[in-house]
Structure 1
C-alpha cells in the first residue's frame, strides 16, 4: 500500500474516532443479563430495548406505535394479525422474518424466564408467510398490543447457533450465551459486557429507522454508592445518572451545569407476605403461619408509619397509596385510594386477637440498589413494626442476589416495586395478585396470596371489551384484595434523573430511558 495513502487513511480514522460521541450513564444497579426474556424488570427491559425490539413499542407520549410490525388488525375476537416490517436485519446481518417472531414469542413463554406472564393468554402463535404472523388467544384480549411492547424479538438462527434456545433460570444461577452476548435489531449493538463493571453499546448503522440521537457509543456503569455516583456526575466523569439521591437534588441543581428531571412514576412500592406455607420460614413461630391470618396482615399494615417514611426516608418525594397501581394506570380508582390508618394500639390489639399478644420474629428481604431508598424504607418498616412487637430480622442485599432469592419464593416478607408495563391494571392483577399457576399467572405474587373471586375477575378483565363494565370488574377485584390485605402497598416513588446540561433526553413515567432519544452536545 502507498505510504502516503496509509497516512491519509490513518488520519481519517483518527479524526472519525475524535468525533465519536460517547454517552456515559450510571445507575445504582447493573443490568442483570443481556437476555431480553430473562428478567421482567424495568432497568433490564429499558436497557435491552436499545439492542432488541418488540413488534410494537411506545412513543414519547406512551402511545403504542409500530416497531417490527407495521400494522396489526383483530381478525376475530381472539385472533390478531401482525404485518411485519420488510428489510430489517439483525446485528449479524441475518434477515428478520416471521420465523423469528414465532420463535421469540414461544421462547418468552418458557417457564425458566420471567416474561411468560405476558403470554398467558396465548393459544397459538403461527406464521402465515415470511412477513405475517397471527396470535390466537384463549379469550378476547383487547390490550394485546400493549402486552407485546415488552416481548422482544430474538434471532432464531442466532439462538440455535449459540445454544440459547431458552432463557436462563436466574433462580438457579445458570447462564447461557444470551446472558452476555446479544444480537438484536435495535439502534445499538452490544460491544462489551463486564457484569457489575460496565457494558458498552455502539451505534447500529444498519438500523432500519432513523433514531433521534447523535450518540455513537454508550458506556453504562453501575455505581451503587450514592455519594460516588453524585461525585462522578459533578466531576464530569459521567453524563447521566439515575436515580439521583433525594438528599442531593438541590446540590446538583445549584451546581449550575446540570439538570435534575423529576416526575411521578407509575411504579408502586409494596410489601408481600408468605401466605402459602403452613409454617412460616425465618420466624420464631413454629407449626403455623401467622401471615395466613388476615388480622396479622392488617396489624403489620397499620403498624407502619407511612408518613414518617414519606417525610424522613423519601424526603416528601413519594405519594402514599392504598392501591397496587397508581395514577396514570388504566383502571386506577382514585376514590378507593385511602390507606388504613397508622395505629400502634389497633395493630397490637389485632395481633393479640390472632394469638400473638407478644408479637413474633420474622425475616425480611429487601434490595438495596433497585428502588429509591429501598434499604432505608425497609429499615423504617422494621423500626415501625418493632413498636407493635414484631421483630424484623432484615436482610438487605444487591438485586443481583435478591431477585433470584425471592423469585424462588425463598422469603417470608419482602419488598418489591411494580410498574404495570402495559399501562393497565390487569398487568398488576395478573402478575402480582392472581393465584400463581403454571401458565405465568401470579408469577410475581411471591407470597401466593389467593382469592378465587379475584382470579375470576382477573380473567374477565382480560377479555372484557366494554370499558365501563371492565372498570367495575377492576374496582371489585381491588376491593376484594384490599379487604383481604393481600399485600401492603406503601407508595409511588418519584423519578429523579440527573444529567449534564449538554444532554437532551426524554423521561417517561415508566422510568425507561431510551437512548435512541438522547443527544449530547
Structure 2
C-alpha cells in the first residue's frame, strides 16, 4: 500500500487556483484500487485536528446524512464504498475494491475489500451494505431524493453487493463516494438512537463522552482501522461557530487549527503566527436558481426573455472582483471547470448590460418590471444588497424572506419561491445535468422542454461516460442559451491552518477529513 507524502509548509497565500482538468468521475467500471493512495498530504504522524464549521449535522442516521460542512463527521465515522480523491478529483474505491455496470446499466456490482470491521469488532458483510441502502430507498430524506432510480440492493455473498435500477441513472456512481455510499451494521438500523449513536466501519468513532451535541463533536481514531496510515490525526474536534468573526478569533487564539475564512479575513488570518492560507479549487458553483421556470408562481419566468434579462442584469465580474475580492471565477454555466464539458466561450453569453435587460423585459411585456420574493439564507446574505440594487435597476424589485439555514435545501421544493440562491459542489457532469436540468433537487418543478427532454433521454440511455460527453456539451449549451438558471460564480474559498495542519484538497471535494494533512515543520 502506498503511503501519503508529507507536504512542504507554505508561508504565503497560494495563487488563486485556476481551472483544473479532472478525470471523469462517472465511470462505467473501476478496477481494484488502493484507497490509501488517495490521501496525499497525510502522514502516519500527527495529533489533533481542531476545526470550526458553521452548521451542525442534522443526523448520523445513514439515511439522513447530507452534503454540508458537517460531512466531515459522518464520513469519518462511516466508510463509503468509494471516495473522491482530493488531489485529482477522481472517484476511487474505498470500502470497495471495484465496481462494474451491466451492459444495459440496470445492475451495478460492487466488490467489498477484505478485512473491513465495524467499530464494535464485527466484520462488514455485503448484507450490511444492502440493508442500509434498501432502508435509504424506503426512508424519506436527502438521500432518497438522489436515488429515485434505485430499485433494490442484493447481497449474493458476503463480499458482493448488487444494486438494481429501474432505469440507468448516469449521475449515480459519484454517490458511492458521497452520502449513499455510507453504511452501518444491519442490526444498528434498529437502534432508536441511531441519529446520535452511530456505528460505522470508518477510521474514527464518535467520542460521545467528550461530545456536546450542537456545540462540539470529538472523533477518536481507530488504531485497528485497516488503512490507519492515511488518517494522520488521532483526534478530530469539530466546533460549531455560526459567526465567522468568532471562528477567526478562535483561530488567532490557537483554539482551532483549521477554519474556513472569508476574503475579508484573509489578511488578519495570515498575520497569525504560523498560519497558512490555502484557496480551494473553483469547482463548486453559486447559482441563482430559477425554480419557477414553468411560471407557476411568477408567470414572467416562463418567458425566455425574462430569464435572459435576469442574466444580463447581474454584474458577475463586479461581484467577483469587488465584493469577493477576486476569490471567485464569474461564470454563466452550471457545468463546473472540474468536469470535461465546461465551455469558456459560453461565459461570454450574458455580459453585464442593464439596458439590454430592461429592453428584454419591455419586449416580454413588462416595461415596469415586477416584484419577486427570494429566501434569505447564509448563502445569499452577503450578496443581497448588490443583487437587490442590480435587479432593481432593471425593474425587478426583490424582497428577501428570512428562513432558517436548516431549510435552505427543502425551501426549493416548498412552492413558495420562484428564485433561490444555492451552492452546489461538483460531483460529475452527469450529476450536474440531472441535478439542475433533470429530476434533481435543483429542478424541483421538473421543468423541461421538448428539446431538453430529447437531450436528457439520450443522456439517460448512454451507459458509456465517454459516449455521453457530446450530449452533455449540448445540454450545457442549451441551458445557457435558454437561460434556465442564473449562474453567478465559482467560489474560491479560503482555509486558514496552523500548528502543522495543511489543507490539501486540490479538487474541490466535499467536506472530509481527507482534505487535511500534516505539514512538514
Same fold (TM over 0.5): yes
Do 1:72 and 1:83's aligned partners in 2 also have CA atoms closer than 8 Å? yes
SS in 1 for 2:470: helix
Decide which of 82, 85, 88 is 1:61's aligned counterpart: 88
Structure 2: how far apart are the matches of 1:74 and 1:272?
Answer: 33
Structure 1: how far apart are the matches of 2:306 and 2:212?
Answer: 45
Q: What's the CA shift string for 1:97-143, capped at 9, x where partnerless?
A: 11112122223334611123543443442221122122244556677
Cα offset for 1:268? 1.0
Alignment of 1:272-291 (within 5 A): 272-275=289-292, 280=297, 289-291=299-301
Structure 2 residue 429 is the aligned partner of structure 1 residue 425: yes
Structure 2 residue 387 is the aligned partner of structure 1 residue 381: yes
- Alpha carbons of 1:81 and 1:367: their partners in 2 closer, same or farther (altered >3 Å)? same
TM-score by length of 2: 0.82
Decide which of 162, 171, 178 is 2:191's aligned counterpart: 162
Structure 2 residue 51 is the aligned partner of structure 1 residue 28: no
Decide which of 398, 401, 405 is 2:407's aligned counterpart: 401
Q: What's the CA shift string for 1:329-378, capped at 9, x where partnerless?
A: 1322233332412221221222222232222221111321xx5xx41123
User: Partner residue of 1:349?
Assistant: 359
Structure 2: how far apart are the matches of 1:329 and 1:162?
Answer: 40
Q: Structure 1 stretch 181-190 or stretch 139-148: which is displaced more?
A: 139-148
Do 1:276 and 1:448's aligned partners in 2 also have CA atoms closer than 8 Å? no
Decide which of 475, 482, 485 is 1:484's aligned counterpart: 482
Q: Structure 1 unaligned segments of length 5 or more: list them.
A: 1-18, 164-176, 281-287, 435-440
Structure 2: how far apart are the matches of 1:109 and 1:452?
Answer: 30
SS in 2 for 1:43: coil
Structure 1: how far apart are the matches of 2:151 and 2:288?
Answer: 33
Q: What's the CA shift string for 1:241-282, capped at 9, x where partnerless?
A: 01x1101212322334100111323111111123267652xx
Structure 2: how far apart are the matches of 1:260 and 1:322?
Answer: 28
Do 2:68 and 2:511's aligned partners in 1 also have CA atoms closer than 8 Å? no
Cα offset for 1:450? 2.0
User: Partner residue of 2:235?
Assistant: 217
Structure 2: how far apart are the matches of 1:240 and 1:38?
Answer: 26
SS in 1 for 2:217: strand
Do 1:323 and 1:489's aligned partners in 2 also have CA atoms closer than 8 Å? yes
Structure 2: how far apart are the matches of 1:144 and 1:445?
Answer: 17
- Alpha carbons of 1:105 and 1:508: their partners in 2 closer, same or farther (altered >3 Å)? farther
Structure 2: how far apart are the matches of 1:300 and 1:145?
Answer: 34
Structure 2 residue 517 is the aligned partner of structure 1 residue 518: yes
SS in 1 for 2:69: helix
Greater C-alpha Rg = 1
Alignment of 1:120-159 (within 5 A): 120-138=148-166, 145-150=173-178, 151-159=180-188
Cα offset for 1:232? 1.0
Q: Structure 2 unaligned segments of length 5 or more: list them.
A: 1-44
Q: Structure 1 stretch 332-341 or stretch 425-434: which is displaced more?
A: 332-341
Structure 2 residue 112 is the aligned partner of structure 1 residue 84: yes
User: Partner residue of 1:438?
Assistant: none
Alignment of 1:452-491 (within 5 A): 452-464=450-462, 469-491=467-489
Structure 2: how far apart are the matches of 1:135 and 1:108?
Answer: 13
Structure 2: how far apart are the matches of 1:379 and 1:447?
Answer: 28
User: Partner residue of 1:114?
Assistant: 142
Do 1:182 and 1:190's aligned partners in 2 also have CA atoms closer than 8 Å? yes
**Structure with the larger RCO, 1 or 2 (CA within 8 Å, 6+ apart):** 2
Cα offset for 1:144? 5.4
Structure 1: how far apart are the matches of 2:486 and 2:234?
Answer: 44
Do 1:126 and 1:135's aligned partners in 2 also have CA atoms closer than 8 Å? yes
Cα offset for 1:500? 0.5
User: Partner residue of 1:11?
Assistant: none
Structure 2: how far apart are the matches of 1:22 and 1:160?
Answer: 31
Structure 2: how far apart are the matches of 1:394 and 1:226?
Answer: 22
CA RMSD of aligned residues (A): 2.8
Structure 1: how far apart are the matches of 2:172 and 2:245?
Answer: 42
- Alpha carbons of 1:153 and 1:501: their partners in 2 closer, same or farther (altered >3 Å)? closer
User: Partner residue of 1:6?
Assistant: none
- Alpha carbons of 1:425 and 1:356: their partners in 2 closer, same or farther (altered >3 Å)? same
SS in 1 for 2:282: strand
SS in 2 for 1:180: coil
Structure 2: how far apart are the matches of 1:142 and 1:450?
Answer: 18
User: Partner residue of 2:440?
Assistant: 442
Do 2:310 and 2:391's aligned partners in 1 also have CA atoms closer than 8 Å? yes
Q: What's the CA shift string for 1:414-434, capped at 9, x where partnerless?
A: 10011232xx21101111211
User: Partner residue of 1:251?
Assistant: 268
Structure 1: how far apart are the matches of 2:308 and 2:101?
Answer: 44
User: Partner residue of 2:417?
Assistant: 411
Do 1:56 and 1:64's aligned partners in 2 also have CA atoms closer than 8 Å? yes
SS in 2 for 1:264: coil
SS in 2 for 1:178: coil
Do 1:82 and 1:132's aligned partners in 2 also have CA atoms closer than 8 Å? yes
Structure 2: how far apart are the matches of 1:250 and 1:100?
Answer: 48
Decide which of 285, 290, 294 is 1:268's aligned counterpart: 285
Cα offset for 1:407? 4.2
Structure 1: how far apart are the matches of 2:437 and 2:331?
Answer: 16
Do 1:49 and 1:186's aligned partners in 2 also have CA atoms closer than 8 Å? yes
